[in-house]
Amino acid sequence: MLFREPEMAALEALLFVAKNPLTLELLEEVLELDRQTIEELLNDLRSRYSVESCGLMLLEIEGGFKLATKPEVARYIETLYKQPAQTLSNAALEVLSIIAYKQPVTRGEVDFIRGVQSDRALTTLVEKGLVKDVGRKEGPGRPILYGTTEQFLLHFGLSSIEDLPNLEVFSLSESEAATTGEKELGE
């Protein structure tokens, strides 16, 4: 299969991303290869994954094929998925979005924007590593300034804070909102 590396890579990628087992017929159609070639590629993949140092294996399930993890690595996968889910309350999401867009910002400024106390939500965000102390504001009491962390970027799949959507896209001015509301009522 020396000259079949591109096809092998494509087959492997398809088996990796597929939610359900892929049939030979579907693989023939997608890869535009004949059945015998696909069977040879599948056998080569099976051999490639049969080595002890590989954590994957090729499964045949009801006439379809799928990549799966080997039972020997199950404990590592279980450990990964036993991690507590990082769900955030609506209050925490509000605070996080204010900090993300206004950073560096003080707790008092966040409270002013929200119109309610944000202590608890802010504490949660700091504990989860999504927000951190980035300095002190000059002025009375020298309040703590908060900003987002690298964990925030990772959690939301952002390369940098500049990847956040533009706020103007989401906000309508009061006159636009009123006009939109009048149109909906008038129709």
Encode pLDDT of 111-157 as tens digits.
999 999 999 999 999 999 999 999 999 989 999 999 999 888 877 77
Rounded CA gap, 142 and 131, in Å? 18
Rounded CA gap, 163 and 179, in Å? 31
If you ran DSSP here, which 8-state letter would residue 143 be given?
P
pLDDT above 60: residue 177? no
Pick left, alpha or beta for residue 140 (phi over 0 → left; psi -120 to 50 → alpha; otherwise beta): beta
Judge contact between 87 and 125, C-beta under 8 A: no
List, edge to edge, every strand of the sheet that includes 64-69.
Answer: 22-23, 64-69, 56-61
| 3-state SS assignment for residue 87 | coil
Kindly report the CATH class assigned to 90-186.
mainly alpha
pLDDT above 60: residue 172? no
Rounded CA gap, 68 and 54, in Å? 11
| Signed CA dihedral, 152, 157, 163, 167: sign only | negative
- Domains 2-75 and 90-186 are alike in CATH topology: yes
For the chain, which residues make up each domain, given as ranges? Answer: 2-75, 90-186
Structurally, at CATH architecture level, domain 2-75 sits in Orthogonal Bundle (1.10)
| 3-state SS assignment for residue 148 | strand
Rounded CA gap, 66 and 19, in Å? 8
The two tokens of residue 40 are 């040879």
Q: Which pLDDT tens digit goes with each residue over 52-98?
A: 899 999 988 878 899 988 989 988 888 887 766 667 899 999 999 99
The two tokens of residue 60 are 């045949």
Instruction: Answer whether 0.75 is exceeded by the pTM.
Output: no
Amino acid at 148: T
Amino acid at 68: A
Q: Which pLDDT value is given to residue 168?
A: 77
Closest to 105 in 3D by CA, of 140, 143, 139: 143
- Measured at the CA of 20, the angle between CA 19 and CA 21, to 5 degrees, comes to 130
Rounded CA gap, 110 and 47, in Å? 58
Q: Which pLDDT value is given to residue 85?
A: 60
